[in-house]
Structure 1
Amino acid sequence: MTTALDRVLRQAGVPGLLETLAEHLPPTDLQTLLLEVYRRRAAAVSPGRLLDAYARNRFTAPSALAAPGELARLEALIHERLAAHGVTGVALSPLSPLGTNAAVATVDQNKVVSTARNTEVVADATNVLALECAVRRRAAPRGEVVRLGATHRVVRAQAFDGPAMAAHFALFGLCTAGRDAGSFRFETRALTEQLALHLDLLGRAADLGHRATAVRVSLTDLTTEGRHRAALRERVLDPLAAAHPGVAFGFDDERPHGRGYYAGVCFEIHAATPAGDEITLIDGGFTTWTASLLSNAKERLLISGLGTERLIAAFRATPAGG
């Protein structure tokens, strides 16, 4: 228990307050209580206090992106390429059920903006796409593959050092959900499809003025003794290398991050900015989320994400405008 929480409970002077609110009140009753609390607090806000709060609160500041028209054009391109690759675009709600991150992605709830209505502000589009994939997989024929993509502004509650990490930013999320087909066939096909889509998108983004060069794809086999390495080379890396001769493909056996979050295989796509700096633009991998949501160990889910505002800011070949 944190020192700040200790102080709050001590000053409240109500024995068992935290346990009553967190464990004994039904969610709807807690919602009723919190709604009245915030109604009263909102009634006390004057226009001057509102302006001061807006100016100070990092969650309410506009995006630092200099040219929002660029983001709109990039998002239009993304949805065009989703359709071309047979992926269904989804317009996500700004909210998701309380626990969306903590229940499947094991993310601490303090890193998410929770609401008084038993929901939370979307912090990662792939978590919500996983929920939608699970809903559609549950209703779909057994062998049907669900492919979903979304562009979404997400909010992260934790404070990062440095101005590059904003409280909210635009993200492109991609999910492919299906059932284990045996012999690692579903996994290699899903990887090939998602990597091909991302590479197609990066290539076409150059026409919008966002030029990524020296593009490099790295796969990491997270299994013991790298038992999927041969299949990944033969079915994923070699075909993609033949289709994209200007892109480097290989394995990253030393990748330290993502272990414990991803299961089986993960990947990154790196590129050089016009200034010559290499940046990791896209990160993805397999998770157990739909297997947990559907209580079926045969379910498979590949997720990936691209920070669209980062692509625009770091790979802009010409000065911003519009």
Structure 2
Amino acid sequence: MNGTDHVSIDETLRHALAQGMAATELWSLLLSVLEQRAAQRTPSMVRQQWKTDRFVQPCAVNQRMLNELDSHLLAAAAEFEALELSPVAPLASCSTVALTSQNRIVSTARGTEVVSDPTNVLALECARRLREAPDAVIKLTTSHRCVRAQAVPKRPGFSAHFRMFCLASAAHERKDHGFVTEALAEHIRTHLSALDRLEKHGYHFPDRRLRLLATPERRHLAERMSKEIVELPVTLETLEHPYYDGLRFMIDAGTPDGNAVPLIDGGAFDWLRKLTDNKRMVYVASGMGSQLAAMLFRRVARIA
């Protein structure tokens, strides 16, 4: 058998597993394979993986510190309903609606994936609720440990799994894009309130700066928002990233070494329109790298 034959067999097998087999049969097959793989492993092999695998390493931040941090962040988001999400979500929760590859996500053998971005999961919950109550305004928040499979920047505070604080708002759009602009402004002010609260409990976020990014078609909305948000300096920039639906915001803060860190990121997304088949649905989501905040911006080590 030559190399070409091997390639042909691999492609045939891949096609059969990906498309030619019913999902329930595939999950059953994969679970059986993993069970047999696990039976072949020794304690020393497990110990070695615990030592070297970046996905299983414990977080570098003290858990008590993260719990205290979460309590302050959730308190700042009192206007949002707080959800404790499952560690896993339906397979393709991100890749079916957002511009991302499934290869960047840890998929499981049970038709699920480890949550890599809570805002995608919150969009699913918003879609469910709006189907039941189409006129509702949904506002959700969560703090969640995420796992991502892409390469990790070799900088302090970055790891394969990390804590993220998120906000999500969803509703039918109103006249003159009233809902999307109002929701974005509320997210910005909530995050700023969270930073203010943290600064009373041992953190420092100097040199804050708000960037509003918009496509040319939506620049007038960014300009409208920039006049309403007076809590910190605002700069307008052109949005080129197609991941967002025309509007994005970023909040930077300075670290003790003088570097500006993009700590908070949010914007409008078209995910809810895809999930509900309703073009009038608007979804706004944002997130703060809370674990990054604990590592780079804490100036008083009070938690032991």
Task: Compute the TM-score of the two structures, normalised by the length of structure 2.
Answer: 0.93
Match of 2:208 in 1: 215
Match of 2:137 in 1: 145
2:66 partner amino acid: L
Superposed, 1:1-322 pairs within 5 Å as 10=6, 13=9, 16-65=12-61, 67-83=62-78, 86-140=79-133, 142-164=134-156, 165-224=158-217, 226-233=219-226, 237-238=227-228, 240-241=229-230, 244=231, 247-253=232-238, 259-319=241-301, 321-322=303-304
Displacement over 4 Å in runs of 4+:
11-15
Quick check: 1:87–1:148 contact (8 Å CA) kept in 2? Answer: yes
Cα-to-partner distance string for 1:109-165 (whole Å, 9 max, x where unaligned): 11000000010000001110111111111111x331100111000000112241543
Return 49-58 or 294-303, whichever deviates more: 49-58
Distance 1:212 1:286, change over 3 A: same
Quick check: 1:211–1:274 contact (8 Å CA) kept in 2? Answer: no
1:81 partner amino acid: A
| Cα offset, 1:60, TM superposition | 0.5
The 3-state SS of whatever aligns with 1:292 is: helix
Distance 1:40 1:187, change over 3 A: same
2:92 partner amino acid: G
| Cα offset, 1:304, TM superposition | 0.6
Quick check: 2:202–2:301 contact (8 Å CA) kept in 1? Answer: no
Distance 1:320 1:48, change over 3 A: farther
Distance 1:48 1:230, change over 3 A: closer
Cα-to-partner distance string for 1:293-322 (whole Å, 9 max, x where unaligned): 000110000111101011111111134742
Residues in 1 aligned to 2:207 and 2:263: alpha-carbon distance in whole angstroms: 12
Cα-to-partner distance string for 1:66-90 (whole Å, 9 max, x where unaligned): x32211101011222222xx10000
Distance 1:272 1:20, change over 3 A: same
Residues in 2 aligned to 1:104 and 1:309: alpha-carbon distance in whole angstroms: 26
Residues in 1 aligned to 2:11 and 2:164: alpha-carbon distance in whole angstroms: 43
| Cα offset, 1:54, TM superposition | 1.2
Q: What is the percentage of aligned positions where both structures have the same residue?
A: 33
Residues in 2 aligned to 1:199 and 1:298: alpha-carbon distance in whole angstroms: 29
Cα-to-partner distance string for 1:176-212 (whole Å, 9 max, x where unaligned): 1011112111111101111110010000011221110
Quick check: 1:74–1:208 contact (8 Å CA) kept in 2? Answer: no
Distance 1:18 1:137, change over 3 A: same
Residues in 2 aligned to 1:199 and 1:307: alpha-carbon distance in whole angstroms: 14
The 3-state SS of whatever aligns with 1:213 is: coil
2:111 partner amino acid: N
Give aligned pairs, total.
301
Quick check: 2:218–2:246 contact (8 Å CA) kept in 1? Answer: no
| Cα offset, 1:270, TM superposition | 1.0
Where structure 2 has 5 or more consecutive residues not aligned to the other structure, the ranges are: none
Residues in 2 aligned to 1:163 and 1:214: alpha-carbon distance in whole angstroms: 21
Distance 1:230 1:50, change over 3 A: closer
Quick check: 1:222–1:266 contact (8 Å CA) kept in 2? Answer: no
CA RMSD of the aligned region, Å? 2.0
Residues in 2 aligned to 1:225 and 1:155: alpha-carbon distance in whole angstroms: 33
Distance 1:225 1:200, change over 3 A: closer
Distance 1:172 1:100, change over 3 A: same
Quick check: 2:211–2:250 contact (8 Å CA) kept in 1? Answer: yes
